[in-house]
A and B are shown apart, each in its own frame.
Chain A
């Protein structure tokens, strides 16, 4: 549901500098204001990350019952990677595929709302956010009904021979990618919309006045100007999508399991904390690598 909150991120960059400098007796005030919230984040966000880092180096021979010994077992990382690299690949593959689908759907949607919707703009925006009004899990389960073997979608596809007589959609990679695309699409659309909304339509008129074809006008004017929203939206889509395991669990089979499913079971089923922790860190490192690589290429690091 967090996409809602990301919209202001993009817009608050123009924050004014603080007003007139306050006097000495107020100097401690900002720190007092920051203390409770900042303390909470340090204690329950930053400290746990350190603990997770430590846990990833525990002796893999220990268990939750007997306790773990800190043995600086860096070997946990290559071991985890060796055992589960296909899941990593699948995570990023599915997330990447879903991202491409989401861009193909999300860009026209954001553009239409921002530039073409006129007085229907707010209504359409509500429609984009509306899915998030209800539970993530319940919505994902609804796809089980839509894609069910007895459902009309599969029936139709079988009739037109896009699917064989026994072909199915549920429990396939297709279903998982579809679910990922669906669940995180609003996260992509909202920042993109925020960018496109600020695009002055006169710029496109100017471009076409200066002999640009619609395609060129899009490539030279619209696309570059929507870049900040595009970059932010892509990240907001990709980060949760690659760490997701709900879609794989509910819409796929163990053959479609992503790295999240493995981590979930390492912590909650197999109780192999060192491996789970190592996998978590590998996931975070992989995501950070993808994000920073992407940001460098997109050339807009100030999005963060």
Chain B
């Protein structure tokens, strides 16, 4: 038996999840997820801990059986195949390298299980791809974290899977190494042309690497698209805050007027292009990214066509590339403003009066729960204490 019958010779195809659901008792970890991941793309599943992204990955790998739904590769449903029958390989979180086998045998493991005898050349080629020539006889414990990570990658890639799954592959690395590996992973993906599905809670990592990002929350996909599209025009308040920071001002809209949607917020009137409104009626959030806000000393300095809010600077943090201000508005909320330290901008001291303005084409409208308030103070990247 073994893996020789694996369906890896079938023509590759898109990976499709159809109504994929996983329940653990009463808890629904993955809720009717529908996704198409085109052949050869670099796809990221982004979300906080416990959002269902890892469970989704494990169902694709075959390590978890779906409660219902399908995992289609091309037009074949592989959802109920044992993991060793699937043309899918995984780079595990913290790598799961076999501690008793040396690097060579770790990388050769999949080939050997499929009854391939002459593995030497392939293994050497794969070690070269991940720049680990000459490390074959070491044990995993003798390698650094970054090296182990590359062994895990080589061990999966050598099998030429149709889909490579990466479960927080860079989570255990320090920041500098992580950046380096992000670039390297992207290079390798381009080189081998295999579909990569990358699970991460790090929004920057997802945006750096993936062609397409799916933001997951509570077992569902909140938004799917190219990183820039999601960032520039998020679909929900959750996405707006999970991916980067947003100033979300509670407002009311009363339908589009021409190409614009006028809204009222805290007594003032603003407008947003209709193309950038997810809703145009009822309770909405008027959203502007902090770096799209500009600070000036008084209202008459606001450029024509821009909209503005006046307030008092309540905090100024100099962080090198930019200065991050908090502007307390007349109604009490604080807006976050990032001013690039390009040398031309005026600097504001805490307590100074200032006016924040923005180009309406950079704003967006999101649906709002009727009771929801402004969400304008900086939100932590992820809830405290849940870092996987």
Which residues of A are at the interface with B, using a C-beta cutoff of 8 A? 20-21
B226 proximal to A (CB < 8 A): no
**Looking at chain B's contact residues, is the secondary structure mostly helix, strand, loop, or mixed?**
loop
* Cα–Cα, bound, A121→B65 (Å): 46
4 contacts between A and B (CB under 8 A): A20-B63, A20-B64, A20-B65, A21-B65
CB distance from B94 to the nearest CB of A (A): 14
* Cα–Cα, bound, A20→B66 (Å): 11
Q: Nearest 4 CB-CB pairs, A to B?
A: A20-B63, A20-B64, A20-B65, A21-B65
B residues less than 8 Å from A20 (CB atoms): 63-65
* Cα–Cα, bound, A21→B63 (Å): 9
* Cα–Cα, bound, A21→B66 (Å): 12
* Cα–Cα, bound, A20→B64 (Å): 6
Closest to A21 in B: B65
B residues less than 8 Å from A21 (CB atoms): 65
Chain B 63-78 interface mask (CB, 8 Å, partner A; 1/0)? 1110000000000000
CB distance from A17 to the nearest CB of B (A): 11
CB distance from B154 to the nearest CB of A (A): 25
Which residues of B are at the interface with A, using a C-beta cutoff of 8 A? 63-65
* Cα–Cα, bound, A20→B63 (Å): 7
CB distance from B374 to the nearest CB of A (A): 40
CB distance from A277 to the nearest CB of B (A): 48
Tell me the number of A-to-B contacts counted with CB atoms below 8 Å.
4
* Cα–Cα, bound, A21→B67 (Å): 12
A residues less than 8 Å from B63 (CB atoms): 20
* Cα–Cα, bound, A21→B64 (Å): 8
* Cα–Cα, bound, A118→B64 (Å): 44
CB distance from A24 to the nearest CB of B (A): 12
* Cα–Cα, bound, A191→B65 (Å): 40
CB distance from B305 to the nearest CB of A (A): 58
CB distance from B59 to the nearest CB of A (A): 11
* Cα–Cα, bound, A160→B63 (Å): 74
* Cα–Cα, bound, A21→B24 (Å): 11
A residues less than 8 Å from B64 (CB atoms): 20
A residues less than 8 Å from B65 (CB atoms): 20-21
CB distance from A241 to the nearest CB of B (A): 41
* Cα–Cα, bound, A273→B64 (Å): 58
CB distance from B341 to the nearest CB of A (A): 40
* Cα–Cα, bound, A21→B23 (Å): 13
Closest to A19 in B: B63
* Cα–Cα, bound, A20→B24 (Å): 11
* Cα–Cα, bound, A21→B25 (Å): 13
Closest to B83 in A: A20
* Cα–Cα, bound, A227→B322 (Å): 53
CB distance from B79 to the nearest CB of A (A): 14
CB distance from A46 to the nearest CB of B (A): 34
CB distance from B89 to the nearest CB of A (A): 17
Closest to B58 in A: A20
CB distance from B55 to the nearest CB of A (A): 11
* Cα–Cα, bound, A127→B64 (Å): 47
CB distance from B165 to the nearest CB of A (A): 15
* Cα–Cα, bound, A20→B82 (Å): 12
Closest to B62 in A: A20
* Cα–Cα, bound, A197→B63 (Å): 36
CB distance from B311 to the nearest CB of A (A): 43
Closest to B64 in A: A20
CB distance from A95 to the nearest CB of B (A): 44
CB distance from A23 to the nearest CB of B (A): 8
CB distance from B262 to the nearest CB of A (A): 54
* Cα–Cα, bound, A299→B354 (Å): 62
CB distance from B24 to the nearest CB of A (A): 10
* Cα–Cα, bound, A21→B65 (Å): 8
* Cα–Cα, bound, A164→B65 (Å): 80
* Cα–Cα, bound, A43→B64 (Å): 39
* Cα–Cα, bound, A136→B63 (Å): 50
CB distance from A27 to the nearest CB of B (A): 14
CB distance from B29 to the nearest CB of A (A): 13
* Cα–Cα, bound, A220→B65 (Å): 48
CB distance from B134 to the nearest CB of A (A): 34
CB distance from A198 to the nearest CB of B (A): 21
CB distance from B107 to the nearest CB of A (A): 24
* Cα–Cα, bound, A20→B80 (Å): 13
Closest to B63 in A: A20
CB distance from A79 to the nearest CB of B (A): 56
* Cα–Cα, bound, A145→B255 (Å): 102
CB distance from A39 to the nearest CB of B (A): 32
